[in-house]
Structure 1
Amino acid sequence: MKLHDELPVDHRLSQVYRVGAGLCGTALLVFGCLGLADGLSFFSTDGEPIAGLSGNGLLSLVSVLVAAVLIAGAVIGGNTASTVNITVGTLFVLSGFANLAVLDSSANLLAFRIQNVLFSFVMGLVIATFGMYGRVSGKLPYDNPYWRHRHPRPADRATAAPAPALPGSAALPGSAALPGRPA
């Protein structure tokens, strides 16, 4: 069975992925549209200020395209939105490092300045965090579909009838201790 079959369409995690992708995609879309509306030079390495960041026509176009991907992920929802968020967030962080390396050089095709690099790092972490929410953690609850997918045998035992408490133990009714997990 595949994980996308186990996560219900209306699962509450899907809303987190959708909202994260939608908000971040909308912010990038606004930035990109402002740059395109200003008629910025497409390949200028100097850049013009847009909403506190430096930009050119190419950066505006890239922003609109990335926004379209995030908004499409928000519309699709579910695991697709989560995966899109994680992927785009990772690419943002990598872009921050790559553009940091080419600051003040002729290879700075997106007209990045240090504020763009910082924005890229922060936005990448925010987008990736939205994608990883409820999916990556050491303390996921037993009913979490991602935990159940990674631990099929303990998940089966967690849903099975609870084991009788040993004499002298203070286990709560209905709680079963799993190997490696506190009761």
Structure 2
Amino acid sequence: MKLHDEVPADHRLSQVYRVGAGLCGAALLVFGCLGLADGLPFFSTDGEEIAGLSGNGLLSLVSIVVAAVLVAGAVMGGNSASTVNIAVGTLFVLSGFVNLMVLDSSANILAFRLQNVLFSFVMGLVIATFGMYGRVSGKLPLDNPYWRHRHPQSADPSTASPAPAPDGRRRGAALPGRPV
């Protein structure tokens, strides 16, 4: 799929992807920097509280790396930012499930607590939603580049016929006895 040729750099979808990646990346960067500045032990499984979340040096470092990936996606913009957002959001949600399984065990190397798991779920959904905005929906507008890519036979939105109504009639068709 070569949509990078079809989505102009100033397209509003590209701006949503950039803003989402940039804001979420900035939040993670702040959390990671606060953890490193506080001198948290690197491999502690107990963790210390930073900005309402439990953390250790390893979690701070991972947060900074993920923030760098999100900021790089924001700089690239377009479909790259969207794809980065979807991938990172999915990894956050998966991380939440994995860390939920290892809570209160010696395998909890990132010093997660329940609030960290909830943060992973929420942040993952927010990041993924930014990435999926305008890409994944049942009702994309006809001028949307993703809709046009999925419907090449109707590449020109002005010639595309409207979808049929649930009762089988074409949308906009007159009912018997009623003008259009």
Length-normalised TM-score, structure 1: 0.87
Partner of 1:33: 33
Matched to 2:99, the amino acid is N
**How far off its partner does 1:179 sit?**
5.6
Partner of 1:21: 21
Question: Structure 2 stretches of 5 or more lacking a match?
Answer: 173-180
Q: How does 1:29-178 map to 2 (within 5 A)?
A: 29-156=29-156, 158-160=157-159, 176-178=161-163
Q: How many residues align?
A: 168
Alignment check: 8 A CA contact 1:43 1:58 kept: yes
Distance across 2 between alignment mates of 1:82 and 1:179: 31
Matched to 1:87, the amino acid is A
SS in 1 for 2:105: coil
Partner of 2:8: 8
Distance across 1 between alignment mates of 2:139 and 2:171: 10
**How far off its partner does 1:177 sit?**
2.2
- Residues 143-181 of structure 1 show CA distances to partners (whole Å, capped at 9, x for unaligned) of 00000001111334x333x8xxxxxxxxxxxxx424678
Distance across 2 between alignment mates of 1:182 and 1:139: 14
Question: Structure 1 stretches of 5 or more lacking a match?
Answer: 163-175
Partner of 1:168: none
Alignment check: 8 A CA contact 1:154 1:178 kept: no
Distance across 1 between alignment mates of 2:158 and 2:164: 14
Partner of 1:173: none
Matched to 1:126, the amino acid is V
Distance across 1 between alignment mates of 2:129 and 2:171: 26
Distance across 1 between alignment mates of 2:82 and 2:27: 18
**How far off its partner does 1:3 sit?**
1.4
Partner of 1:170: none
SS in 1 for 2:67: helix
Distance across 2 between alignment mates of 1:179 and 1:159: 17
Matched to 2:158, the amino acid is T
Between the aligned residues of both structures, percent identity stands at 83
Matched to 1:62, the amino acid is V
Alignment check: 8 A CA contact 1:53 1:116 kept: yes
Alignment check: 8 A CA contact 1:32 1:59 kept: yes
Distance across 1 between alignment mates of 2:2 and 2:110: 40
- Residues 88-140 of structure 1 show CA distances to partners (whole Å, capped at 9, x for unaligned) of 00000000000000000000000000000000000000000000001100000
SS in 2 for 1:54: strand
Distance across 2 between alignment mates of 1:118 and 1:36: 22
Distance across 2 between alignment mates of 1:100 and 1:151: 41
